[in-house]
């Protein structure tokens, strides 16, 4: 296995691993079961040993469980990890209630996160998304105050428009933009990605397999209790047509000796030196596959095939990531 590449966060920010470890699935997601804690901690340790030092979490993942888990995993290893935390989402009994981005709430959230993580400073702190209830200037300005207090090192944003990104960066230099990005979700290429590149902001790209659409394992129709039935992309003829596109991805994967998931991650990785695939894992067995994906290269013909097959608008229907 080659040594993992690095990516710089922001124009003058730190260097971190170009593959990020998403820790969300190490906690109960949408009321589901909690994965084995020992295995989750072992996964974090193995990731760190392999050079993956970017750990992504949210204070609302498992109602704080995720941060507590990471805190346990990093005892004696704090200096080897870069911790990225999202805040602002409000849940009750596993149900989404909305956002709380008031300055007073942010100042409250940070202290709970620091306590659960068992650290004095969070490396990257970011609102989980933006709404119209609080001005961007007030949100970023509050986090900038936390930087001055020594509770935060760098500021990030997530689920944001190009206009909001420019506003945020004018208040305080933004180091990273966390956003959903995949072969099946490319709308951000029109305005948001160019804005981030212009401003020197790194892109932390999650949902590389588009809710599992690009794994090559999905079949139509979905089970009645599958959460993806809420999204038009996974319904009826839309799913049938979308899986026909995925068949092309599967053929390329077979020809290259990889899995469709690896090809999907590799495509995101090859979109630029400033783009980091953020991959959720809760088992050590996933690490070799995802690390290997970072080494995949495409011929110009292969890249053209992927870009044409999965051109903007080629995937029918939408998800919560649709913009």
Q: What is the pTM of this model?
A: 0.95
Average pLDDT score over residue span 257-285: 97
CB 9 within 8 A of CB 176: yes
**Tens digit of pLDDT for each residue in 200-238?**
999 999 999 999 999 999 999 999 988 899 899 999 999
Look at residue 302 in the predicted model and tell me its pLDDT.
98
Measured in degrees and rounded to the nearest 5, phi and psi for residue 108 equal -80, -45
CA angle 18, 21, 23 (to 5 degrees): 160
Whole-number mean pLDDT of the chain?
A: 95
Average pLDDT score over residue span 236-253: 96
Average pLDDT score over residue span 24-51: 92
Euclidean distance between CA atoms 157 and 215, whole angstroms: 27
In sequence order, the β-bridge partners of residue 21 are: 55, 279
pLDDT of 318 strictly over 70: yes
Residue 43: strand, helix, or coil:
helix
Euclidean distance between CA atoms 191 and 180, whole angstroms: 14
pLDDT of 29 strictly over 80: no
pLDDT of 310 strictly over 80: yes
Proportion of the chain above pLDDT 90, given as a percent: 88
Measured in degrees and rounded to the nearest 5, phi and psi for residue 18 equal -80, -10
Q: Which class does domain 6-209+262-297 fall in?
A: alpha beta
Average pLDDT score over residue span 251-265: 98
Residues marked active site are found at: 61
CB atoms within 10 A of CB 16: 26
Tokens 């209630």 belong to residue: 97
**Tens digit of pLDDT for each residue in 73-128?**
999 999 999 999 999 999 888 788 999 999 999 999 999 999 999 999 999 999 99
Average pLDDT score over residue span 116-142: 96
Average pLDDT score over residue span 51-69: 96
Average pLDDT score over residue span 53-61: 97
* Contacts with 311 (C-beta within 8 Å, 6 or more apart), sequence order: 186
Look at residue 1 in the predicted model and tell me its pLDDT.
52
pLDDT of 193 strictly over 80: yes
């Amino acid at each position: 296995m080659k040594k993992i590449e690095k990516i710089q966060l922001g124009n003058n920010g730190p260097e971190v691993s170009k593959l990020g470890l998403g820790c969300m699935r190490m906690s109960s997601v949408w009321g589901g079961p909690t994965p084995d804690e020992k295995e989750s901690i072992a996964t974090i340790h193995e990731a760190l040993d392999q050079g993956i030092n970017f750990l992504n979490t949210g204070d609302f993942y498992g109602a704080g469980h995720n941060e507590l888990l990471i805190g346990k995993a990093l005892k004696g290893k704090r200096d080897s990890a870069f911790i990225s935390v999202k805040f602002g989402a409000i849940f009750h009994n596993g149900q989404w209630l909305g956002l709380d981005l008031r300055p007073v709430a942010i100042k409250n959230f940070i202290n709970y996160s620091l306590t659960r993580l068992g650290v004095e400073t969070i490396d990257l702190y970011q609102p989980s998304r933006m709404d119209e209830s609080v001005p961007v200037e007030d949100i970023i300005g509050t986090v900038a105050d936390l930087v001055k207090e020594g509770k935060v090192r760098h500021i990030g944003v997530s689920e944001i428009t190009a206009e909001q990104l420019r506003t945020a960066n004018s208040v305080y230099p933004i180091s990273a933009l966390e956003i959903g990005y995949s072969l099946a979700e490319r709308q951000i290429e029109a305005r948001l990605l160019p804005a981030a590149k212009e401003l020197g902001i790194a892109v932390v790209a999650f949902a590389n397999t588009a809710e599992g659409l690009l794994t090559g394992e999905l079949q139509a129709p979905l089970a009645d209790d599958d959460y993806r039935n809420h999204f038009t992309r996974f319904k009826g003829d839309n799913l049938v047509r979308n899986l026909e596109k995925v068949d092309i991805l599967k053929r390329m994967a077979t020809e290259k000796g990889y899995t469709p998931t690896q090809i999907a991650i590799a495509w995101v990785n090859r979109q630029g030196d400033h783009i980091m695939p953020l991959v959720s894992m809760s088992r050590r067995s996933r690490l070799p596959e995802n690390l290997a994906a970072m080494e995949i290269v495409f011929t110009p013909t292969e890249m053209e095939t992927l870009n044409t097959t999965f051109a903007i608008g080629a995937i029918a229907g939408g998800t919560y990531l649709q913009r």
